Structure 1
Amino acid sequence: MKNRKKIMFALLAVGLLSACGTKEENPVTEPVEQQEIKIDVADEAEQYKSLVLGQTDSFTADTELLATYVKEGKLEEAQKLYPLVTMYYERMQPLASNFQELDVKINSEVEEGKEAEASGFQSLAHGLFVEKKTAGYEGVADELVENVKALQSELPTMDVSENNVLASAITMFNTMATNRLSAQSISNNEVYAVKAQTEAAEDLLEIFIPRVSTESAETTSEALKELNEIVAYYEVGKEDYVNYSFFTAKQKEELKTAVQRVGSALQEMNDSLK
Protein backbone atom coordinates (compact mmCIF):
# COMPACT_ATOMS: atom_id res chain seq x y z
CA MET A 1 0.00 0.00 0.00
CA LYS A 2 1.65 3.22 -1.14
CA ASN A 3 0.86 6.69 0.12
CA ARG A 4 -0.63 9.05 -2.46
CA LYS A 5 -0.65 12.83 -2.54
CA LYS A 6 -2.96 14.41 -5.06
CA ILE A 7 -1.96 17.54 -7.02
CA MET A 8 -4.52 19.60 -8.90
CA PHE A 9 -3.56 21.25 -12.20
CA ALA A 10 -5.71 24.13 -13.53
CA LEU A 11 -5.48 25.76 -16.96
CA LEU A 12 -6.35 29.43 -17.46
CA ALA A 13 -8.15 30.13 -20.74
CA VAL A 14 -6.99 33.44 -22.17
CA GLY A 15 -9.15 35.38 -24.65
CA LEU A 16 -7.45 36.07 -27.94
CA LEU A 17 -7.81 39.41 -29.68
CA SER A 18 -7.71 39.67 -33.45
CA ALA A 19 -5.48 42.16 -35.24
CA CYS A 20 -8.48 44.43 -35.95
CA GLY A 21 -9.39 44.44 -32.26
CA THR A 22 -12.34 42.02 -32.60
CA LYS A 23 -12.67 39.77 -29.54
CA GLU A 24 -12.72 36.10 -30.44
CA GLU A 25 -14.71 33.55 -28.48
CA ASN A 26 -12.65 31.84 -25.78
CA PRO A 27 -11.63 28.31 -26.77
CA VAL A 28 -13.12 25.49 -24.72
CA THR A 29 -10.40 23.82 -22.71
CA GLU A 30 -10.80 20.20 -21.70
CA PRO A 31 -10.24 19.73 -17.93
CA VAL A 32 -6.99 18.07 -17.02
CA GLU A 33 -7.56 14.86 -15.06
CA GLN A 34 -6.45 14.87 -11.45
CA GLN A 35 -3.04 13.25 -11.26
CA GLU A 36 -1.45 11.32 -8.46
CA ILE A 37 2.12 11.18 -7.30
CA LYS A 38 2.94 7.90 -5.66
CA ILE A 39 5.28 8.14 -2.73
CA ASP A 40 7.63 5.18 -2.77
CA VAL A 41 8.31 3.88 0.74
CA ALA A 42 9.59 0.43 -0.27
CA ASP A 43 13.02 1.07 1.27
CA GLU A 44 11.45 2.04 4.59
CA ALA A 45 9.25 -1.05 4.56
CA GLU A 46 12.31 -3.20 3.94
CA GLN A 47 14.12 -1.51 6.83
CA TYR A 48 11.23 -2.27 9.15
CA LYS A 49 11.10 -5.85 7.93
CA SER A 50 14.80 -6.20 8.82
CA LEU A 51 14.05 -5.05 12.36
CA VAL A 52 11.24 -7.58 12.66
CA LEU A 53 13.50 -10.32 11.32
CA GLY A 54 15.87 -9.59 14.17
CA GLN A 55 13.31 -10.83 16.68
CA THR A 56 11.98 -13.92 14.89
CA ASP A 57 14.44 -16.34 16.49
CA SER A 58 13.42 -15.21 19.98
CA PHE A 59 9.76 -15.22 18.96
CA THR A 60 9.98 -18.82 17.80
CA ALA A 61 11.98 -19.96 20.85
CA ASP A 62 9.56 -18.34 23.32
CA THR A 63 6.55 -19.74 21.44
CA GLU A 64 8.08 -23.20 21.73
CA LEU A 65 8.61 -22.63 25.46
CA LEU A 66 4.97 -21.55 25.80
CA ALA A 67 3.86 -24.73 24.03
CA THR A 68 6.07 -26.79 26.36
CA TYR A 69 4.39 -25.25 29.40
CA VAL A 70 0.98 -26.06 27.93
CA LYS A 71 1.90 -29.66 27.17
CA GLU A 72 3.43 -30.11 30.64
CA GLY A 73 0.32 -28.72 32.30
CA LYS A 74 2.14 -25.71 33.78
CA LEU A 75 -0.77 -23.28 33.80
CA GLU A 76 0.75 -20.45 35.84
CA GLU A 77 3.97 -20.45 33.84
CA ALA A 78 2.01 -20.43 30.58
CA GLN A 79 -0.22 -17.59 31.78
CA LYS A 80 2.81 -15.48 32.72
CA LEU A 81 4.69 -16.14 29.47
CA TYR A 82 1.70 -15.71 27.14
CA PRO A 83 1.53 -11.88 27.05
CA LEU A 84 5.31 -11.62 26.61
CA VAL A 85 5.21 -13.91 23.58
CA THR A 86 2.36 -11.95 22.02
CA MET A 87 4.44 -8.77 22.23
CA TYR A 88 6.65 -10.10 19.43
CA TYR A 89 3.58 -10.49 17.25
CA GLU A 90 2.26 -7.03 18.10
CA ARG A 91 5.48 -5.51 16.77
CA MET A 92 4.93 -7.41 13.51
CA GLN A 93 1.49 -5.91 12.88
CA PRO A 94 2.59 -3.18 10.42
CA LEU A 95 3.59 -6.09 8.14
CA ALA A 96 0.50 -8.24 8.79
CA SER A 97 -1.09 -7.43 5.43
CA ASN A 98 1.80 -9.28 3.82
CA PHE A 99 1.01 -12.58 5.57
CA GLN A 100 -2.76 -12.53 5.91
CA GLU A 101 -3.22 -16.29 5.61
CA LEU A 102 -0.76 -17.00 8.41
CA ASP A 103 -2.16 -14.11 10.44
CA VAL A 104 -5.55 -15.82 10.52
CA LYS A 105 -3.95 -19.04 11.73
CA ILE A 106 -1.73 -17.36 14.32
CA ASN A 107 -4.18 -14.86 15.76
CA SER A 108 -7.77 -15.57 14.69
CA GLU A 109 -10.60 -14.21 16.83
CA VAL A 110 -12.50 -16.56 19.11
CA GLU A 111 -16.23 -16.40 18.37
CA GLU A 112 -18.68 -17.25 21.10
CA GLY A 113 -20.03 -20.75 20.60
CA LYS A 114 -17.29 -21.51 18.07
CA GLU A 115 -14.31 -21.70 20.40
CA ALA A 116 -13.29 -25.11 19.04
CA GLU A 117 -12.87 -23.61 15.55
CA ALA A 118 -10.39 -20.95 16.65
CA SER A 119 -6.62 -21.31 16.43
CA GLY A 120 -3.44 -19.63 17.53
CA PHE A 121 -2.92 -17.14 20.33
CA GLN A 122 -6.58 -16.31 20.89
CA SER A 123 -7.60 -19.95 21.13
CA LEU A 124 -4.77 -20.61 23.57
CA ALA A 125 -5.79 -17.55 25.61
CA HIS A 126 -9.32 -18.96 25.90
CA GLY A 127 -7.89 -22.08 27.50
CA LEU A 128 -5.39 -20.31 29.76
CA PHE A 129 -7.50 -17.40 30.97
CA VAL A 130 -11.16 -18.35 30.50
CA GLU A 131 -11.17 -22.10 31.14
CA LYS A 132 -7.96 -21.77 33.17
CA LYS A 133 -6.53 -25.04 31.98
CA THR A 134 -3.94 -26.46 29.60
CA ALA A 135 -5.51 -29.88 29.04
CA GLY A 136 -7.04 -30.10 25.60
CA TYR A 137 -4.94 -27.24 24.22
CA GLU A 138 -1.77 -29.19 23.50
CA GLY A 139 -2.65 -29.45 19.82
CA VAL A 140 -3.40 -25.72 19.62
CA ALA A 141 0.02 -24.98 21.10
CA ASP A 142 1.82 -27.27 18.65
CA GLU A 143 -0.06 -25.78 15.70
CA LEU A 144 0.84 -22.27 16.88
CA VAL A 145 4.54 -23.21 16.94
CA GLU A 146 4.23 -24.66 13.44
CA ASN A 147 2.66 -21.47 12.07
CA VAL A 148 5.15 -19.17 13.81
CA LYS A 149 7.97 -21.22 12.30
CA ALA A 150 6.31 -20.91 8.89
CA LEU A 151 6.21 -17.13 9.32
CA GLN A 152 9.86 -17.12 10.36
CA SER A 153 10.71 -19.06 7.19
CA GLU A 154 8.65 -16.94 4.80
CA LEU A 155 9.40 -13.48 6.15
CA PRO A 156 12.96 -13.08 4.77
CA THR A 157 11.79 -13.36 1.14
CA MET A 158 8.45 -11.61 1.64
CA ASP A 159 7.86 -8.71 -0.76
CA VAL A 160 6.83 -5.70 1.34
CA SER A 161 7.47 -3.06 -1.31
CA GLU A 162 3.77 -2.22 -1.68
CA ASN A 163 3.23 -1.85 2.06
CA ASN A 164 3.35 1.66 3.49
CA VAL A 165 4.23 0.42 6.96
CA LEU A 166 3.66 3.90 8.39
CA ALA A 167 0.04 3.88 7.20
CA SER A 168 -0.31 0.31 8.47
CA ALA A 169 0.87 1.48 11.89
CA ILE A 170 -1.79 4.20 11.89
CA THR A 171 -4.44 1.53 11.34
CA MET A 172 -2.85 -0.53 14.12
CA PHE A 173 -3.10 2.33 16.63
CA ASN A 174 -6.60 3.29 15.55
CA THR A 175 -7.74 -0.30 16.02
CA MET A 176 -6.16 -0.37 19.46
CA ALA A 177 -7.91 2.85 20.52
CA THR A 178 -11.35 2.26 19.03
CA ASN A 179 -11.64 -1.50 19.43
CA ARG A 180 -9.18 -3.34 21.62
CA LEU A 181 -9.12 -0.85 24.50
CA SER A 182 -12.90 -0.60 24.47
CA ALA A 183 -13.87 -4.27 24.26
CA GLN A 184 -13.61 -7.08 26.79
CA SER A 185 -10.64 -9.25 25.86
CA ILE A 186 -9.78 -12.80 26.82
CA SER A 187 -6.37 -12.34 28.43
CA ASN A 188 -6.55 -8.63 29.35
CA ASN A 189 -2.99 -8.15 28.12
CA GLU A 190 -3.74 -4.82 26.44
CA VAL A 191 -0.97 -2.92 28.26
CA TYR A 192 1.58 -5.39 26.93
CA ALA A 193 0.15 -4.90 23.44
CA VAL A 194 0.27 -1.10 23.72
CA LYS A 195 3.90 -1.27 24.91
CA ALA A 196 4.90 -3.48 21.97
CA GLN A 197 3.09 -1.29 19.44
CA THR A 198 4.73 1.80 20.95
CA GLU A 199 8.11 0.18 20.36
CA ALA A 200 7.10 -0.46 16.75
CA ALA A 201 6.11 3.20 16.34
CA GLU A 202 9.44 4.33 17.80
CA ASP A 203 11.27 2.25 15.19
CA LEU A 204 9.09 3.66 12.42
CA LEU A 205 9.70 7.22 13.61
CA GLU A 206 13.45 6.67 13.37
CA ILE A 207 13.13 5.12 9.93
CA PHE A 208 10.87 7.82 8.49
CA ILE A 209 12.44 10.95 10.02
CA PRO A 210 14.36 11.80 6.80
CA ARG A 211 11.12 11.61 4.78
CA VAL A 212 8.67 13.61 6.91
CA SER A 213 8.32 17.16 8.22
CA THR A 214 10.25 18.15 11.33
CA GLU A 215 7.03 19.31 12.98
CA SER A 216 5.25 15.97 12.50
CA ALA A 217 8.28 14.04 13.75
CA GLU A 218 8.45 16.19 16.88
CA THR A 219 4.72 15.77 17.48
CA THR A 220 5.06 12.00 17.19
CA SER A 221 8.07 11.94 19.51
CA GLU A 222 6.13 13.87 22.17
CA ALA A 223 3.05 11.64 21.80
CA LEU A 224 5.17 8.52 22.17
CA LYS A 225 6.90 9.97 25.23
CA GLU A 226 3.53 10.63 26.86
CA LEU A 227 2.28 7.13 26.05
CA ASN A 228 5.46 5.52 27.37
CA GLU A 229 5.10 7.42 30.64
CA ILE A 230 1.55 6.15 31.08
CA VAL A 231 2.54 2.57 30.31
CA ALA A 232 5.54 2.78 32.68
CA TYR A 233 3.20 3.70 35.52
CA TYR A 234 1.57 0.25 35.18
CA GLU A 235 4.81 -1.72 35.06
CA VAL A 236 4.98 -4.03 38.07
CA GLY A 237 8.16 -5.87 37.19
CA LYS A 238 10.56 -6.33 34.33
CA GLU A 239 8.32 -6.66 31.27
CA ASP A 240 5.31 -7.24 33.49
CA TYR A 241 2.27 -4.96 33.53
CA VAL A 242 -0.98 -4.54 35.42
CA ASN A 243 -3.84 -6.66 34.07
CA TYR A 244 -6.10 -4.38 32.01
CA SER A 245 -9.20 -5.72 33.79
CA PHE A 246 -8.06 -3.82 36.92
CA PHE A 247 -8.14 -0.45 35.16
CA THR A 248 -10.80 2.06 36.19
CA ALA A 249 -12.90 3.76 33.52
CA LYS A 250 -10.77 6.90 33.96
CA GLN A 251 -7.53 4.98 33.55
CA LYS A 252 -8.81 3.24 30.43
CA GLU A 253 -9.83 6.58 28.94
CA GLU A 254 -6.41 8.07 29.70
CA LEU A 255 -4.63 5.19 27.98
CA LYS A 256 -7.00 5.25 25.02
CA THR A 257 -6.55 9.02 24.55
CA ALA A 258 -2.76 8.67 24.58
CA VAL A 259 -2.95 5.87 21.98
CA GLN A 260 -5.19 8.05 19.80
CA ARG A 261 -2.68 10.89 19.99
CA VAL A 262 0.07 8.63 18.70
CA GLY A 263 -2.18 7.50 15.85
CA SER A 264 -2.97 11.12 14.94
CA ALA A 265 0.73 12.05 15.10
CA LEU A 266 1.65 9.16 12.81
CA GLN A 267 -1.06 10.36 10.43
CA GLU A 268 0.60 13.79 10.34
CA MET A 269 3.87 12.10 9.48
CA ASN A 270 2.22 10.10 6.74
CA ASP A 271 0.57 13.23 5.30
CA SER A 272 3.92 15.03 5.17
CA LEU A 273 5.81 12.24 3.38
CA LYS A 274 8.05 13.53 0.64
Structure 2
Amino acid sequence: MKYNKLIVALLATSVLTACGTKEEAVEEQPVEQQEEQQTINVSAEAESFKQFTKEQMADFVADTELLAKYVNEGNVEGAQKLFPLVTMYYERMQPLTANFGELDQAINGAVEEGKEEEATGFNRLAQGLFTLKNSSGFDVVVDQLVTDVKTLEQELNSLDVSQNNVLASAVLMLEQTTQHLAKTSPANNEVYAVKAQNEAVQKIIGIFTSRVEPETAKTATEKAAILDEAVAYYEVGKEDYVNYSFFTNKQKEELTKAVTDVKDALQQMNDTLK
Protein backbone atom coordinates (compact mmCIF):
# COMPACT_ATOMS: atom_id res chain seq x y z
CA MET A 1 0.00 0.00 0.00
CA LYS A 2 1.36 3.44 -0.95
CA TYR A 3 0.51 6.62 0.83
CA ASN A 4 -0.10 10.04 -0.71
CA LYS A 5 3.17 11.26 0.82
CA LEU A 6 4.93 10.62 -2.46
CA ILE A 7 2.49 12.80 -4.35
CA VAL A 8 2.86 15.55 -1.78
CA ALA A 9 6.65 15.40 -2.03
CA LEU A 10 6.61 15.63 -5.81
CA LEU A 11 4.17 18.54 -5.75
CA ALA A 12 6.33 20.38 -3.22
CA THR A 13 9.40 19.88 -5.38
CA SER A 14 7.65 21.18 -8.49
CA VAL A 15 6.50 24.29 -6.60
CA LEU A 16 10.05 24.99 -5.44
CA THR A 17 11.36 24.61 -8.96
CA ALA A 18 8.72 26.90 -10.43
CA CYS A 19 8.77 29.64 -7.77
CA GLY A 20 12.33 29.58 -6.44
CA THR A 21 15.92 29.46 -7.58
CA LYS A 22 18.02 26.35 -8.02
CA GLU A 23 19.70 27.07 -4.70
CA GLU A 24 16.30 27.02 -2.93
CA ALA A 25 15.32 23.62 -4.30
CA VAL A 26 15.80 20.62 -2.00
CA GLU A 27 17.78 17.62 -3.11
CA GLU A 28 15.34 15.13 -4.58
CA GLN A 29 15.63 11.36 -4.26
CA PRO A 30 14.88 9.15 -7.27
CA VAL A 31 11.17 8.42 -7.59
CA GLU A 32 11.82 4.69 -7.40
CA GLN A 33 13.57 5.07 -4.05
CA GLN A 34 10.77 7.24 -2.65
CA GLU A 35 8.17 4.70 -3.71
CA GLU A 36 10.12 1.92 -2.06
CA GLN A 37 10.31 3.86 1.19
CA GLN A 38 6.56 4.53 1.18
CA THR A 39 5.58 0.91 0.51
CA ILE A 40 4.33 -0.98 3.55
CA ASN A 41 4.63 -4.75 3.52
CA VAL A 42 1.46 -6.42 4.79
CA SER A 43 2.11 -9.87 3.31
CA ALA A 44 2.54 -11.56 6.71
CA GLU A 45 -0.79 -10.19 7.90
CA ALA A 46 -2.52 -11.31 4.70
CA GLU A 47 -1.01 -14.77 5.05
CA SER A 48 -2.21 -14.95 8.66
CA PHE A 49 -5.75 -14.08 7.59
CA LYS A 50 -5.56 -16.63 4.78
CA GLN A 51 -4.70 -19.25 7.38
CA PHE A 52 -7.81 -18.22 9.32
CA THR A 53 -9.95 -18.87 6.25
CA LYS A 54 -8.21 -22.17 5.48
CA GLU A 55 -9.12 -23.48 8.92
CA GLN A 56 -12.83 -23.28 8.08
CA MET A 57 -12.63 -24.89 4.64
CA ALA A 58 -13.18 -28.50 5.68
CA ASP A 59 -16.44 -27.53 7.40
CA PHE A 60 -17.34 -25.26 4.47
CA VAL A 61 -17.00 -28.16 2.05
CA ALA A 62 -18.90 -30.59 4.31
CA ASP A 63 -21.82 -28.23 4.87
CA THR A 64 -21.99 -27.34 1.17
CA GLU A 65 -22.19 -31.04 0.39
CA LEU A 66 -25.01 -31.39 2.93
CA LEU A 67 -26.80 -28.47 1.31
CA ALA A 68 -26.46 -30.23 -2.05
CA LYS A 69 -27.90 -33.39 -0.51
CA TYR A 70 -31.00 -31.52 0.68
CA VAL A 71 -31.48 -29.85 -2.71
CA ASN A 72 -31.04 -33.09 -4.63
CA GLU A 73 -33.52 -34.84 -2.33
CA GLY A 74 -36.08 -32.07 -2.77
CA ASN A 75 -35.86 -31.11 0.90
CA VAL A 76 -36.52 -27.39 0.40
CA GLU A 77 -37.14 -26.63 4.08
CA GLY A 78 -33.89 -28.28 5.14
CA ALA A 79 -31.98 -26.46 2.40
CA GLN A 80 -33.53 -23.13 3.37
CA LYS A 81 -32.43 -23.53 7.00
CA LEU A 82 -28.91 -24.57 6.07
CA PHE A 83 -28.35 -22.06 3.28
CA PRO A 84 -27.57 -18.95 5.39
CA LEU A 85 -25.20 -20.93 7.62
CA VAL A 86 -23.24 -22.15 4.60
CA THR A 87 -22.98 -18.63 3.21
CA MET A 88 -21.40 -17.49 6.49
CA TYR A 89 -18.22 -19.38 5.63
CA TYR A 90 -17.91 -17.39 2.45
CA GLU A 91 -18.74 -14.08 4.12
CA ARG A 92 -15.73 -14.57 6.40
CA MET A 93 -13.55 -14.86 3.30
CA GLN A 94 -14.66 -11.59 1.70
CA PRO A 95 -11.39 -9.69 2.32
CA LEU A 96 -9.62 -12.29 0.14
CA THR A 97 -12.07 -12.66 -2.74
CA ALA A 98 -10.17 -10.23 -4.96
CA ASN A 99 -7.40 -12.83 -5.07
CA PHE A 100 -9.62 -15.43 -6.72
CA GLY A 101 -11.91 -13.34 -8.89
CA GLU A 102 -13.02 -16.05 -11.31
CA LEU A 103 -14.01 -18.44 -8.53
CA ASP A 104 -15.65 -15.60 -6.62
CA GLN A 105 -17.85 -14.90 -9.62
CA ALA A 106 -18.78 -18.57 -9.86
CA ILE A 107 -19.54 -18.93 -6.16
CA ASN A 108 -21.06 -15.57 -5.30
CA GLY A 109 -21.65 -13.68 -8.53
CA ALA A 110 -24.77 -11.60 -9.09
CA VAL A 111 -27.61 -13.00 -11.15
CA GLU A 112 -28.27 -10.84 -14.21
CA GLU A 113 -31.86 -10.34 -15.21
CA GLY A 114 -32.62 -12.35 -18.31
CA LYS A 115 -29.54 -14.55 -17.79
CA GLU A 116 -30.76 -16.53 -14.80
CA GLU A 117 -30.19 -19.87 -16.50
CA GLU A 118 -26.53 -19.04 -16.98
CA ALA A 119 -25.96 -18.06 -13.35
CA THR A 120 -24.23 -20.23 -10.76
CA GLY A 121 -23.48 -20.12 -7.06
CA PHE A 122 -25.25 -18.95 -3.94
CA ASN A 123 -27.31 -16.18 -5.50
CA ARG A 124 -28.78 -18.40 -8.21
CA LEU A 125 -29.52 -21.13 -5.67
CA ALA A 126 -31.23 -18.57 -3.42
CA GLN A 127 -33.65 -17.74 -6.22
CA GLY A 128 -34.74 -21.36 -6.35
CA LEU A 129 -34.97 -21.94 -2.61
CA PHE A 130 -36.48 -18.64 -1.49
CA THR A 131 -38.15 -17.02 -4.51
CA LEU A 132 -39.47 -20.09 -6.30
CA LYS A 133 -39.42 -22.20 -3.09
CA ASN A 134 -38.44 -25.11 -5.26
CA SER A 135 -35.31 -27.23 -5.57
CA SER A 136 -36.32 -28.86 -8.84
CA GLY A 137 -33.81 -28.08 -11.56
CA PHE A 138 -31.33 -26.57 -9.11
CA ASP A 139 -29.40 -29.80 -8.60
CA VAL A 140 -26.95 -28.72 -11.32
CA VAL A 141 -26.44 -25.36 -9.61
CA VAL A 142 -25.73 -26.81 -6.18
CA ASP A 143 -23.53 -29.61 -7.53
CA GLN A 144 -21.42 -26.99 -9.34
CA LEU A 145 -21.28 -25.00 -6.11
CA VAL A 146 -19.80 -28.02 -4.32
CA THR A 147 -17.21 -28.38 -7.07
CA ASP A 148 -16.28 -24.69 -6.90
CA VAL A 149 -15.95 -24.70 -3.11
CA LYS A 150 -13.70 -27.75 -3.28
CA THR A 151 -11.59 -26.03 -5.94
CA LEU A 152 -11.29 -23.00 -3.69
CA GLU A 153 -10.11 -25.21 -0.83
CA GLN A 154 -7.34 -26.56 -3.04
CA GLU A 155 -6.32 -23.20 -4.51
CA LEU A 156 -6.09 -21.49 -1.11
CA ASN A 157 -2.91 -23.45 -0.37
CA SER A 158 -0.97 -21.75 -3.15
CA LEU A 159 -2.93 -18.50 -3.38
CA ASP A 160 -0.63 -15.47 -3.42
CA VAL A 161 -2.15 -12.84 -1.13
CA SER A 162 1.07 -10.90 -0.49
CA GLN A 163 -0.20 -7.74 -2.21
CA ASN A 164 -3.56 -7.75 -0.42
CA ASN A 165 -3.88 -5.30 2.46
CA VAL A 166 -6.71 -7.26 4.06
CA LEU A 167 -7.34 -4.40 6.49
CA ALA A 168 -8.21 -2.08 3.60
CA SER A 169 -10.13 -4.94 1.95
CA ALA A 170 -12.22 -5.29 5.10
CA VAL A 171 -13.11 -1.60 4.89
CA LEU A 172 -14.33 -2.14 1.33
CA MET A 173 -16.24 -5.26 2.41
CA LEU A 174 -18.20 -3.33 5.04
CA GLU A 175 -18.84 -0.46 2.64
CA GLN A 176 -20.47 -2.91 0.27
CA THR A 177 -22.42 -4.45 3.14
CA THR A 178 -23.98 -1.11 4.08
CA GLN A 179 -25.20 -0.90 0.48
CA HIS A 180 -26.63 -4.42 0.65
CA LEU A 181 -28.47 -3.61 3.87
CA ALA A 182 -30.46 -0.98 1.98
CA LYS A 183 -31.80 -3.61 -0.41
CA THR A 184 -33.60 -6.92 -0.20
CA SER A 185 -32.26 -10.32 -1.17
CA PRO A 186 -34.12 -13.58 -1.86
CA ALA A 187 -32.71 -15.32 1.23
CA ASN A 188 -32.96 -12.28 3.54
CA ASN A 189 -29.84 -13.59 5.31
CA GLU A 190 -28.23 -10.20 5.85
CA VAL A 191 -27.87 -10.63 9.62
CA TYR A 192 -25.98 -13.88 9.08
CA ALA A 193 -23.68 -12.07 6.68
CA VAL A 194 -23.01 -9.23 9.12
CA LYS A 195 -22.26 -11.71 11.93
CA ALA A 196 -19.77 -13.66 9.79
CA GLN A 197 -18.09 -10.55 8.42
CA ASN A 198 -17.69 -9.14 11.91
CA GLU A 199 -15.92 -12.33 12.92
CA ALA A 200 -13.50 -11.75 10.06
CA VAL A 201 -13.10 -8.13 11.13
CA GLN A 202 -12.26 -9.09 14.70
CA LYS A 203 -9.61 -11.49 13.41
CA ILE A 204 -8.12 -8.75 11.22
CA ILE A 205 -8.08 -6.26 14.10
CA GLY A 206 -6.05 -8.74 16.14
CA ILE A 207 -3.66 -9.36 13.27
CA PHE A 208 -2.98 -5.66 12.69
CA THR A 209 -3.03 -4.34 16.28
CA SER A 210 0.77 -4.15 16.52
CA ARG A 211 1.02 -2.34 13.17
CA VAL A 212 -1.31 0.59 13.92
CA GLU A 213 -1.79 3.32 16.51
CA PRO A 214 -3.06 1.62 19.71
CA GLU A 215 -6.00 3.99 20.10
CA THR A 216 -7.35 3.13 16.65
CA ALA A 217 -7.19 -0.61 17.38
CA LYS A 218 -8.94 -0.03 20.71
CA THR A 219 -11.73 1.92 19.02
CA ALA A 220 -12.16 -0.70 16.31
CA THR A 221 -12.34 -3.45 18.93
CA GLU A 222 -15.03 -1.53 20.81
CA LYS A 223 -17.09 -0.86 17.68
CA ALA A 224 -16.89 -4.50 16.62
CA ALA A 225 -18.11 -5.54 20.08
CA ILE A 226 -21.05 -3.15 19.76
CA LEU A 227 -21.91 -4.67 16.38
CA ASP A 228 -21.76 -8.12 17.97
CA GLU A 229 -24.27 -6.99 20.57
CA ALA A 230 -26.54 -5.57 17.89
CA VAL A 231 -26.52 -8.87 16.00
CA ALA A 232 -26.99 -10.93 19.17
CA TYR A 233 -30.25 -9.10 19.81
CA TYR A 234 -31.69 -10.80 16.71
CA GLU A 235 -30.48 -14.29 17.55
CA VAL A 236 -33.43 -16.69 17.90
CA GLY A 237 -31.48 -19.91 18.31
CA LYS A 238 -27.96 -21.23 18.01
CA GLU A 239 -26.61 -19.61 14.84
CA ASP A 240 -30.13 -18.69 13.83
CA TYR A 241 -31.16 -15.07 13.28
CA VAL A 242 -34.29 -13.08 12.49
CA ASN A 243 -35.14 -12.92 8.81
CA TYR A 244 -34.06 -9.49 7.54
CA SER A 245 -37.40 -8.97 5.82
CA PHE A 246 -38.97 -8.59 9.28
CA PHE A 247 -36.78 -5.62 10.18
CA THR A 248 -38.39 -2.21 10.51
CA ASN A 249 -36.77 0.74 8.78
CA LYS A 250 -35.46 1.92 12.15
CA GLN A 251 -33.89 -1.46 12.88
CA LYS A 252 -32.25 -1.47 9.46
CA GLU A 253 -30.86 2.00 10.08
CA GLU A 254 -29.49 0.97 13.48
CA LEU A 255 -27.77 -2.11 12.08
CA THR A 256 -26.38 -0.13 9.16
CA LYS A 257 -24.98 2.49 11.53
CA ALA A 258 -23.29 -0.18 13.64
CA VAL A 259 -21.66 -1.63 10.52
CA THR A 260 -20.64 1.85 9.34
CA ASP A 261 -19.05 2.60 12.72
CA VAL A 262 -16.89 -0.51 12.42
CA LYS A 263 -15.97 0.39 8.85
CA ASP A 264 -14.90 3.90 9.89
CA ALA A 265 -12.86 2.51 12.79
CA LEU A 266 -11.07 0.11 10.45
CA GLN A 267 -10.34 2.99 8.09
CA GLN A 268 -8.73 4.88 10.97
CA MET A 269 -6.60 1.84 11.71
CA ASN A 270 -5.56 1.63 8.08
CA ASP A 271 -4.68 5.33 8.03
CA THR A 272 -2.12 4.75 10.81
CA LEU A 273 -0.67 1.54 9.37
CA LYS A 274 3.10 1.48 9.72
Q: Give the structure-2-normalised TM-score.
A: 0.91
Larger radius of gyration: 1
- 1:113 is aligned with what amino acid? G
Q: Which residue of 2 aligns with 1:102?
A: 103
With over 3 angstroms needed to count, the CA separation of the structure-2 counterparts of 1:26 and 1:92, relative to structure 1, is closer
- 1:259 is aligned with what amino acid? V
* 2:23 equivalent to 1:27: yes
Identity of aligned residues (%): 55
Q: Which residue of 2 aligns with 1:223?
A: 223
- 1:133 is aligned with what amino acid? N
Report the number of matched residues.
261
Q: How far does residue 28 in structure 1 lie from its aligned partner after superposition? A: 6.1
Q: How far does residue 225 in structure 1 lie from its aligned partner after superposition? A: 1.1
Distance 2:22 2:28 in 1: 17
* 2:41 equivalent to 1:40: yes
Distance 2:94 2:4 in 1: 24
Q: Secondary structure at the match of 1:77?
A: helix
Q: How far does residue 113 in structure 1 lie from its aligned partner after superposition? A: 2.5
Distance 1:229 1:112 in 2: 37
* 2:109 equivalent to 1:115: no
Q: Which residue of 1 aligns with 2:234?
A: 234
Q: Secondary structure at the match of 1:39?
A: coil
Q: How far does residue 183 in structure 1 lie from its aligned partner after superposition? A: 1.2
Q: Deviation per CA, 1:214-262: give whole Å up to 9, x if none.
A: 1100110111011111000000000000000000000000000110010
* 2:76 equivalent to 1:80: no
Distance 1:47 1:5 in 2: 27
Q: Which residue of 1 aligns with 2:126?
A: 125
- 1:109 is aligned with what amino acid? A
With over 3 angstroms needed to count, the CA separation of the structure-2 counterparts of 1:113 and 1:215, relative to structure 1, is same
Gaps of at least 5 residues in structure 1 are: 14-24
Q: How far does residue 31 in structure 1 lie from its aligned partner after superposition? A: 8.1
- 2:104 is aligned with what amino acid? D
* 2:146 equivalent to 1:150: no
Distance 1:26 1:57 in 2: 65
Q: Which residue of 2 aligns with 1:18?
A: none
Structure number with higher helix proportion = 2
Distance 2:26 2:206 in 1: 45
With over 3 angstroms needed to count, the CA separation of the structure-2 counterparts of 1:154 and 1:75, relative to structure 1, is same
Distance 2:22 2:174 in 1: 53
Q: Secondary structure at the match of 1:160?
A: coil
